[in-house]
Amino acid sequence: MAKTFSIKRQPGFATIAMFCFFLLYLPIATLVVYSFNSGSSIAIWEGFSLRWFQSAWNNQQVIEASVRSLQIAAVAAVIATACATLAAIATTRTAPYRGLTIKYSIINMPLLVPEIVTAVALLILFSRVKVWTGYSGLGYLIVAHAAFCIPFAYMPIRARLESMDLSLERAASDLYASSFQTFRYVTLPLLWPGILAGLMLAFVISLDDVVITEFVKSGGQDTLPTYMLGQLRRVVTPEMNAISTVFLVISLAIVTLFFFLSRTPQKDNE
């Protein structure tokens, strides 16, 4: 009997894979290591210290930018997830029809269009809105982040809906449950892991965004990524490494939760 082809059994596969992972994660590992450097250099190791973490913690600008980033990311993620949930239900709980593929493309458009194009378009739009309304608060950043994060929240929610067994929803309808009752008591509890995964993914994307934020923000509205970018243009110290390390830990924690939540559909189907 012929053996099935497996790329893992090809000569040199493991070596090449490990080398690629080494090149990919070496810069990140270097950044993390030098965030604990006691000296002011980012290239010369002078001993272990938590000095730069303490410096970042006591930096009022860092605290303000961090709080602002968390506020924007939290609100934008909730808005994006709510919109993505409605879009996912509308595009999966329906019979296929002409134009459905176009709707998929429109929803996922921010993933296909270069981010700089989206940023410039939002800058032009919001500049006119600011003139008309006189408002220049954080609302523009929240709307911009939410619009950009919708497809990221949409993907896990749609995947969850497509993997769900429709028999329970049909049974609820047979038992004279209304559409809202079916959604509230059957669809939503089963969909909840996908919604949480989409929420966390949107939160991470918004928290890390630089390009759109740099174009849309007004004066005094720096988020932590844009604050770090501004500091790197002036002077580079291990404090930036320390902030990046904290960002990395937060992102890894959220992505890990996303990974475990995204595995739940397999358990439901067993």
- For tokens 């009752």, what's the residue? 181
Mean pLDDT value across residues 139-158? 92
By the 10 Å C-beta count (0-12 exposed, 13-18 middle, 19+ buried), 4 is classed as exposed
- Cβ atoms 142, 76 nearer than 8 A: yes
Q: What is the pLDDT of residue 267?
A: 44
Q: What is the pLDDT of residue 261?
A: 64
Confidence of residue 265 (pLDDT cuts 50, 70, 90): very low
Backbone angles phi, psi at 37, to 5 degrees: -75, 135
Q: What is the pLDDT of residue 239?
A: 84
Q: What is the pLDDT of residue 140?
A: 92
- For tokens 């006189």, what's the residue? 134
Instruction: Give the contacts of 65 (CB within 8 A, at least 6 positions apart).
Output: 222, 223, 224, 226, 227
Q: How far apart are CA 26 and CA 22, in angstroms?
A: 6
Beta-ladder partners of 48: 37
DSSP string over 122-172 = HHHHHHHHHHHH---STHHHHHHHHHHHHHHHHHHHHHHHHHS-THHHHHH
Among 164-173, 206-215, 246-255, name the one with the lowest average pLDDT: 164-173
Mean pLDDT value across residues 242-253? 85
Amino acid making up residue 18? M
Q: What is the pLDDT of residue 124?
A: 92
Quick check: 269 pLDDT over 70? no
* CATH number listed for the domain at residues 68-269: 1.10.3720.10
Q: What is the pLDDT of residue 81?
A: 94
Mean pLDDT of the chain: 84
Where is pLDDT greater, at 162 or 7?
Answer: 162
Where is pLDDT greater, at 42 or 205?
Answer: 205
- Work out the number of other CB atoms within 10 angstroms of the CB of residue 99: 7
Q: What percent of the chain has pLDDT over 90?
A: 19
Q: What is the pLDDT of residue 68?
A: 92
DSSP string over 8-55 = GGSTTHHHHHHHHHHHHHHHHHHHHHHTTBSSS-SSS---B--HHHHH
Among 71-85, 157-171, 210-224, name the one with the lowest average pLDDT: 157-171
Quick check: 108 pLDDT over 90? no
Q: What is the pLDDT of residue 243?
A: 86
Quick: pLDDT tens for 44-89: 788 888 888 988 888 888 889 889 999 999 999 999 999 999 999 8
